[in-house]
Structures are given as structure tokens and as C-alpha cells.
Structure 1
Amino acid sequence: MKRFISIRGSAIIALALIVALMITGCSNGKAGESKGPITIGSKIDTEGALLSQMIIAMLRENGFQAIDKSEFGPTQVVRKAILSSEIDMYPEYTGNGAFFFDETESEVWKDAQKGYERVKQLDKETNKIIWLKPAPANNTWAIAIPKTLADKERIRTLDDFATYVNRGGYVKLIGSEEFVTSPVALPAFQKAYGFSLKQDQLVTLSGGNTAQTEKAAAEGTDGVNAAMAYGTDGSLTALKLVVLEDTRGVQPVYEPAPIVRQEVFDKYPEIEGILGPVFNSLDLVTLQTLNAKIAFEGQNAADVAKSYLTSKGFLK
């Protein structure tokens, strides 16, 4: 009888040890319960898709359940989504803080570090949104025209462009609704340089895909000969487009950064360490190259993101 009790007792102890080990493994290991879920959104443009896919891939690599809602909508839609907790995170541009907080007249947004510190402070205090460190690449709004037009009319700057418009030169510009209407985009250019485009001189798109706008300007689609562009676009040279120089420094600095709801960040502060090195590696040339793979070569944003992250050792 004693022998039976001893064996039974040993079995119970062994079973207890197995259960304890299983619990420990589930709480500490990647194979256990995943962290999250965290819902990732982005704007409807090439770079937004690229950056959101990088965020998704890195979070999944580090044991998070990441829900993909990339290319969710234009700035206003994505911004509303994070403020209402419909999404938890998305890549945003520091310069948009000027618009979010009605500070478009402030010079602070034209300084990369000061602009970042300002939007980081305001968004945390006002909306409980945390800004992680941005990439060192200025993806500012720009206007691009075909090199043939630039050479023929000697247009190199927005001053030159304004002179051309005001003397009756033919212009048909294509851009997103945001570019056409946002006080910090086309209206800011028009105000600073003293020109105005009429409604029949504009082709307005719902999304901000510059691959579409630049291609239209390069090919003269429906008479288009000017396009909304971004500083990090990679297809400008290949399409033989010239970006007009903003000699008056109208535009804020637009560096892309992951932003996340504070509730999520407080629960998972390690996100900063996961994404920080990735965004720090994305300089202007790198983003131009990666964007070109998507916009010009037709590659899938998720594939481009994963390939880059793997090549840099961020993904195994």
C-alpha cells in the first residue's frame, strides 16, 4: 500500500511540474500566447503602404498579433480612426502637426527636430497619441512637371511656375483631394507664390498615390502637365519629371514616424525599441528606392517591406 501511495504521489508531483512548466512557457515564450492584437492602418499611398507593412512585419516577428488595415484612407480618415480607437497605430508625417493643431503659420514646422518635438508634445497632451522617432527623410509636398515643359519654358522653381501660370501658360495639375484642399499644400503654394489655379485646371483624386499623378503628368493623360509629388518618390527621374524648387520654404518638414495610441504604448512599450532602428535606417535615398519598387516596378508593398527588413537583418 505504501508503495502504491508513493508512486501515485510521484505522479501527482510530476504532473504538477509539467503544468507549471507549461504555464511558464506560455507566459514567456514566443510559442505561447501572442501579444495584442494591434490594428495597423495607413494612408492610401505608396509610402503609407510600405511603412505600414514594415510595422506589421516587425510586430509579428516579435510575437504580436498585428491586424492589417493598411491603405485605410486619406489623412483625415486615418486620423479620425486612431482618435476613435478604430485603429491603434499608423505612420504619420511630423509636418502634419501644423494642420492638426492649427499652427500653419508657425516656423517651428520647418525645422525637423523642433517640429517633431512639438507634435509629439501636443498629440500626447491633447489626444493621448504617442509619436515614436521619425525616419530621417523629408517627404514634403511638391509639384513636378515634365522635363520637356521645364526646359521649353525655363521653369525650375515655383517662382518660375507662378510666372508661367500668371502669363496664361497652359497648366492642368493632378493631385489628391488632400493636396488640393489642405491649407499646408497647394493653397499654401498659391498664397506664397502668387498664383491661382481654377477648377478646370485641376484633376482631383480621392487618394494620394503619386505613382498615378506622376504617370499622368509624364504621359500627358487628359492634358495633365503638372503633378502632386512627394520628396521621397522614386519614379521622378525615370519618368523624366522635374520637381520645382520651393525657394521660399513654404513647406513644413514631413518626416514619417509611427504613431500609436497611448493605451497601447503603455501596455507594450517595447514597440519603440522594435521600430526605432527600422525607421532610423530609412533615409531619403532608401525610401526613394523602395517606393520606386512599388510605384514604378509594380512590386507588392508587403514583399518590398519584408525583403528590405530581411536584407538589413531586422527579420530572420
Structure 2
Amino acid sequence: MRLILTLTAAALLGSATAKPIVVGSKLDPEAQILGQMLVLTLKNAGLSVTDKTSLGDTGVNRKAILAGEIDLYPEYTGNAVYLFPAAKIGAKQAGSPATIYNLARTLDAKNGITWLRPANINNTWVIAVPQTLAQSQKLSSVADLARYLKSGGKFKIAGSPEFFNRPDTMPVFEAAYGFKLSSAQKLVLAGATPTQTQQAAAQGTNGVNAAMAYGTDATLAALNLVALSDPKGAQAVYQPAPIIRTATLKANPQIAPLLQKVFGTLDAKTMQKLNGQVALEGKTPAEVARTYLKSKGLIK
């Protein structure tokens, strides 16, 4: 009896002192929704969770997980190009969903980080322009945009510092399609989300007539913007996946099947709808995530 009581007391003490799992996320609506899905799923499973979603951009979340300041956050497979420059991941590899995921998973394993299976979504970087400009100048692709720029067409694009400065974002478009934007053609908005950049383009703020956007943005159609296609495949495939510190996963192995079940229910159409509920309807990411997870029977 004494042994049973001792073990029970130890179990209770261990439960009470268990370190919370810290969940981060990036700033855009999709990242926040996915982050809240992680938070709510883990809480529903009875795990102690600290919510640090909306932590910052890719670099901020990356530094935090490597430093052990967060345990888990939603990342995109295409960011392997940016996160592992020494690997020199080529366009063909980055454009293959399975290849880029396997590269990200393998390269990060040595950093003590595990990539779980991604959702069947490609939220890649895109350039968006107003429909009026697209129609008048016959712009449907980045190749068309390059032609327009070389002919002296008026152009100014709104984006975040990350979009302009990372070597695998706007610089890749420039290199692949043979154009180079001047500083006067860029409106750099610190901490900007795609919703903000698209609003600037739709409203013509400070002469802006183009915007940084993501492939699953629900605001594009609502703001009468056109996402230009990328026929040369300059941008990588960006599938969202939960990434977690391997030590945290080993201590809580039930996390993997729980989160992979959640991400397995997502597709592009579903994500666009969920993004729209935040960006267009004004709902909170937590509210949208909770309603969705409940509708799928994934949480109580």
C-alpha cells in the first residue's frame, strides 16, 4: 500500500511540475490559425500549453525553437531553401512537394527538430496586382510582369522586409525573370502581413499597385487582385507542417499522431475559407481554429 501511495504521489507531482509545451507561430492569419490548432489540440489531449503564437516572422520563430524558447510551431517546407543555404537546394528539388519535405526533415534532424507530415496545401509566395492593371496590361504571369517592367511600366509593390530581403523570395523572381526593382519601386512595411500589403495595392497607397501575397490568401478575390502565375517555378512549394523539438516529441510521443491527423484534414480550399474568416470577417484565429476542429471531431 505504501508503495502504491508513493508512486501515485510521485505521478501527481510529476504532472504538476511538467514543463508546458510552448507553441509559437508567425504573424499572418494562416500561421495564427494553424498555431491555434496546435494549441487547442494539445490542450484537448490534456497537455499543459503556453501560447506564444504571433511570435514574429520566420527568423524569430526559428531562433526561438533552436534556443528552446518554444517547442513547436507551424513552418513551411519551402523555407528549407532559406533555412539551409549550405544545402544549395535547387529549383527542381524545391518544386517537388515530397523532395522538399524530405530535405527539410533530414537537414533539421541534426538540429534536434522533427518535421511532422505537412498538409496538402501550397502557400507559396506570389505577386498580386489589381485586376484593372492585369487586364489593361495583359498581366497573368511574372513573365508578363517582366515584359511590362522592361517597357517602362509604372510599378510599386508593397511587402515585408522578409519578402524583399530573403534570397529565396523577391530576389528569386528577379533572377528567374530578368528584372531588378529599384528602391523606389518597393514599399517596405515592417511586420506587414499579406492582408496589409494587398490592401495597400487595392487602395493605391503611396502609389502602390502590386502586393506580396501567399497562394492561399482569401483576400485576393475580395480586393479584386490577381495572383500572377510563376511559369518558371521560381518559388518553392510551401506546405505547412508542425515542427517540434525532438526532445519534446520524445517526452510526449502522442503529439505526432494528434497533429498529423489535424493537418491531414486541411487542403487549399479549406485553408482559404479559414483565412477569409479572419482576414475578411474579423473573427479571431482561436475562434476559427476551435470551430473547425470541433466540426471535424478533433477536439471536444
- TM over 0.5, shorter chain: yes
Residues 51 and 208 (structure 1 numbering): CA distance in 2 closer, same or farther, change over 3 Å? farther
Q: CA deviation at 1:231?
A: 0.6
* Residue of structure 1 equivalent to 2:98: 113
Residues 27 and 33, structure 1, Cα contact 8 Å, conserved in 2: yes
1:169-248 equivalences under 5 Å are: 169-248=153-232
Q: 1:94, 1:258 → 2: CA distance?
A: 10
Which 5+ residue runs of structure 1 have no aligned equivalent?
A: 1-12
Which 5+ residue runs of structure 2 have no aligned equivalent?
A: none
Residues 145 and 244, structure 1, Cα contact 8 Å, conserved in 2: yes
Residues 23 and 53, structure 2, Cα contact 8 Å, conserved in 1: yes
Question: Matched residue of 1:237: which SS?
Answer: helix
Structure 1 position 254 matched with structure 2 position 238: yes
Q: 1:47, 1:117 → 2: CA distance?
A: 23
> CA-to-partner distance for each residue in 1:96-149, whole Å, 9 max, x for gaps?
111111124352111001111111011002x11100111100000000000011
Structure 2 length-normalised TM: 0.94
| 1:155 equivalent among 121, 134, 139 | 139
* Residue of structure 2 equivalent to 1:293: 277
The residue type paired with residue 136 of structure 1 is: N
For the aligned residues, what is the CA RMSD?
2.0
Q: 1:112, 1:17 → 2: CA distance?
A: 53
Q: CA deviation at 1:196?
A: 1.2
The residue type paired with residue 74 of structure 2 is: P
> CA-to-partner distance for each residue in 1:30-72, whole Å, 9 max, x for gaps?
xx64854111111121111111111000000111111111111
* Residue of structure 1 equivalent to 2:121: 137
Residue-pair matches, total: 298
Question: Matched residue of 2:222: which SS?
Answer: coil
Q: 2:157, 2:53 → 1: CA distance?
A: 27
Residues 46 and 294, structure 1, Cα contact 8 Å, conserved in 2: yes
| 1:268 equivalent among 233, 247, 252 | 252
List structure 1 segments (4+ residues) > 6 angstroms apart after TM superposition.
none
Question: Matched residue of 1:43: which SS?
Answer: coil
Q: Percent identity?
A: 45
For the pair shown, the structure with the greater C-alpha radius of gyration is 1
Structure 1 length-normalised TM: 0.89
1:58-97 equivalences under 5 Å are: 58-97=41-80
The residue type paired with residue 56 of structure 1 is: V
The residue type paired with residue 216 of structure 1 is: A
Question: Matched residue of 2:48: which SS?
Answer: strand
